[in-house]
Amino acid sequence: MEDCIFCKIIKGELATELLYEDDQLVAFRDIDPQAPVHILLVTKEHIPTILDIEERKQGLIGHIYRVAAKLARENNIAETGYRLVSNCNKEGGQTVFHIHFHLLGGRSMQWPPG
Ligand code: 5GP
Ligand code: ZN
């Protein structure tokens, strides 16, 4: 946890402009954007992967979807469309082991993903 880049951002140890914050989540722009809008929604609690979500924390996922919709509207990608993805473990493409969702929009998304 001490070396976790997202924990450092949440603690304010790495200067990062927050687009959203509440008691459960923060959101900020990805440092290496893969789309014109690329925002990360990150849980305040250090939970390594989506596999570690326990029953008592299920509500957190619904909350993330609500906040993502709000950020999509604010960033004018709600009507054109967006993708909300969470990568899990190596083959899922996860590189930071602290739960986060990518909100991507502003261009056409491929399906299937690469
Ligand atoms: P993952 O590959 O785990 O699904 O996503 C991790 C994301 O975090 C990547 O898209 C990467 O660009 C982003 N990221 C890594 N380090 C930083 C950082 O220090 N600041 C910000 N804003 N994004 C980061
Ligand atoms: Zn962390």
Residues 44-84: pLDDT tens digits? 999 999 999 988 898 999 999 999 999 999 999 999 999 99
On whether residue 110 sits in a domain, the answer given is no
Mode of pairing for the β-strands spanning 100-105 and 25-29:
unpaired
* The total number of structural domains that make up the chain: 1
Does residue 113 fall inside a structural domain? Answer: no
Query: pTM for this structure?
Result: 0.97
Ligand 1 contact via 5 beta carbon (within 6 Å): yes
Question: Which residue's CA is minimally distant from atom 15 of ligand 1?
Answer: 31
Q: Is 49 in the pocket of ligand 1 (CB under 6 A)?
A: no
Contact of 28 with 19, CB cutoff 8 Å: yes
Banded pLDDT at 97 (limits 50, 70, 90): very high
Mean pLDDT across the chain, nearest whole number?
96
Label residue 114 by pLDDT band (50, 70, 90): confident
What residues does 104 pair with on adjacent strands? Answer: 38, 83
- Could you tell me the CATH number of the domain that includes residue 81? 3.30.428.10
Q: In this structure, is residue 114 part of a structural domain? A: no
Owning domain of residue 38 = 5-105
